[in-house]
Structure 1
């Protein structure tokens, strides 16, 4: 199994624009096309993860609340 794990703030979502750069979306799509699973690993609780709409269909799973929820 190949997998990538990403934090949200400052990694997937730009601190400057508060958006996911198109280059990041393209890279995630390429990873998925190559059979790589994509996971979010964040300190945020699930109910406040609201800014991933444009890539949500690419996410295979979440580790949230600093690992307290998987």
Structure 2
């Protein structure tokens, strides 16, 4: 787990970012489901940034994706 900081109109905003395994553990889903959501081109996709060989997912993006999943 890492923190990303950005200045928005002079205010520093920090947000947690996660790797695929961290995101999967937080939401109690498989890493494969997270990977498929990142690669998806339609429907409920998950935005992520490629960093080296892995991905980083903002906490807000992970929450929005998870909230958009269909209820069982």
Q: Would you say same fold, with TM above 0.5?
A: no
TM-score by length of 2: 0.27
Q: Which has the higher contact order (CA 8 A, sep 6+)?
A: 1
Between Structure 1 and Structure 2, whose CA radius of gyration is higher?
A: 2
TM-score by length of 1: 0.27
Whichever structure has more strand as a proportion of its residues is 2
Whichever structure has more helix as a proportion of its residues is 2
